[in-house]
Amino acid sequence: MQYIDLEPFEDFVRSRNLVNNEHLPYYINWILRFLRSEFDRAHLSESDLLQCFSDQLARDDSVQDWQLRQAMKAVELYLNVYLPAKQGIAEPENPKRELLLSDSQQAMRQMKELLKLRHYSPKTLETYTGWVDRYFRYAKGHKLEWNSPDTVRAYLSYLATQRNVASSTQNQAFNSVLFLFRETLRVDLPEINSVRAKRGPKLPVVLSVEETGRLLSAAEGTAGLMLRLTYGAGLRVSETIRLRVKDLDFDSGVLSVRSGKGDKDRSTILPASLMPDLKAHLERVRALHAADLEKGAGAVWLPNALARKYPKAPKEWGWQYVFPAKNLSVDPESGKTRRHHVSETIMQTAIRNAVSVADIAKHVTIHTLRHSFATHLLMQGVNIREVQELLGHKSVDTTMIYTHVVRTMSARPQSPLDTL
């Protein structure tokens, strides 16, 4: 068997922290399998080679779905990142020189590719690219060199002093620009941390049990069902709208969240009180799906290479969205007509209306329901570690914030004024 030296690839990936160390051996094995596959490489394009390799793995019953996804990520990393860098196309030896020579559009493209490669969420990608684009426009409008650390400091100071943005907003801009320089262009920004905004401890807005009941009672229809499920399972808005039928286990009372924040899966509570309404809702969704199938539609988007491995899966009932959009739409990437999930604006409008009807003066968003879920569980005496698992927090320190809220909502000392 031909010897293939992937040690330089391993050093490249480790130095840039592109893959978790414990996963790297599996990536190397997949790349070796790809390189040793008998394809007609001289007459196939790179995309065709990837397709052939994906099809080859899809026919192998011993390769599971997650392994297929991992294999394709590994090969794409090797072909699209490592090889161009090795050939001096994407990352020359002197990254500072590349920074000086590259234009802002090229830098933006590189950042987008790296964000996708590291599996940042679409929301994070949108946020980071939005701030970097505003930074470029600021530099151009003030006739400053965008690749200068002084310009970064000036921009962050401008946000704080002239735009009067909140510290969290300033730090969001800071993290976005920092990712552009340090992670994408591999250029350090000396002493740039000195302009990071200091944010004091903030407690999340939490509804009382009584307020939560009033709010949810004021929300009707499918949007009301979505809000109740969001509170009852402690979901993020993106997790609610992307739920698929197979994620609901009525027999076990378990709701599975797939590829949540940080691309992590988790299980949480499927509220028993919602099961009758959810089952009735799914009957209506199933009828809609049957009508789509009769029209020759009925397929949904599937993540990564699953659609190639299971070509019939996109039309199967279990993969359909629990909360589908009202109308069919054209997928901009594939050009196929599909029924996507509902927009989060449906829930945002519903909660604004419910807050008004329930006459709640607090600043309530959909995420407030998740905060309230965690706080109310702790008030019931649920162990904080269990709450951490239900929320999908990486560290219990993140969950600890709700213990402070519990103290403010529990029995408080009596004011001396009340004893006079």
351, 219 in Cβ contact below 8 A? yes
26 annotated active-site: no
19, 13 in Cβ contact below 8 A? yes
CA distances from 393 to 44, 258, 320, 380, 389 (A): 44, 14, 27, 20, 7
86 annotated active-site: no
By CB atoms closer than 10 A (0-12, 13-18, 19+), residue 364 is buried
- Phi, psi for 66 (deg, rounded to 5): -65, -30
Place of tokens 């009596």: 414
In 3-state terms, what secondary structure has residue 324?
strand
Q: What is the 3-state secondary structure (H, E, C) of 101-123?
A: HCCHHHHHHHHHHHHHHCCCCHH
The C-alpha atoms of residue 169 and residue 160 are separated, in whole angstroms, by 9
Query: Of 289, 370, 371, 376, which is the active-site residue?
Result: 370
Query: Of 309, 338, 376, 393, which is the active-site residue?
Result: 393
Give the DSSP per-residue string, 152-204: HHHHHHHHHHTS---HHHHHHHHHHHHIIIIIIS----TTGGGGPPP----PP
Task: Work out whether the CA dihedral 144, 150, 153, 157 comes out positive or negative.
Answer: negative
The C-alpha atoms of residue 321 and residue 339 are separated, in whole angstroms, by 9
- Phi, psi for 349 (deg, rounded to 5): -65, -40
43 annotated active-site: no
The C-alpha atoms of residue 231 and residue 240 are separated, in whole angstroms, by 10
Query: Of 73, 228, 236, 339, which is the active-site residue?
Result: 236
Cβ neighbors of 134 (< 8 A, separation 6 or more) are: 173
402 annotated active-site: yes
The C-alpha atoms of residue 166 and residue 27 are separated, in whole angstroms, by 42
The DSSP letter of residue 244 is: B
The C-alpha atoms of residue 255 and residue 239 are separated, in whole angstroms, by 11
Query: Of 261, 266, 308, 340, which is the active-site residue?
Result: 261
Q: Where are the alpha helices (DSSP H) in 189-342?
A: 209-217, 221-233, 237-241, 275-294, 306-309
The C-alpha atoms of residue 5 and residue 156 are separated, in whole angstroms, by 45
Catalytic residue numbers read 236, 261, 367, 370, 393, 402
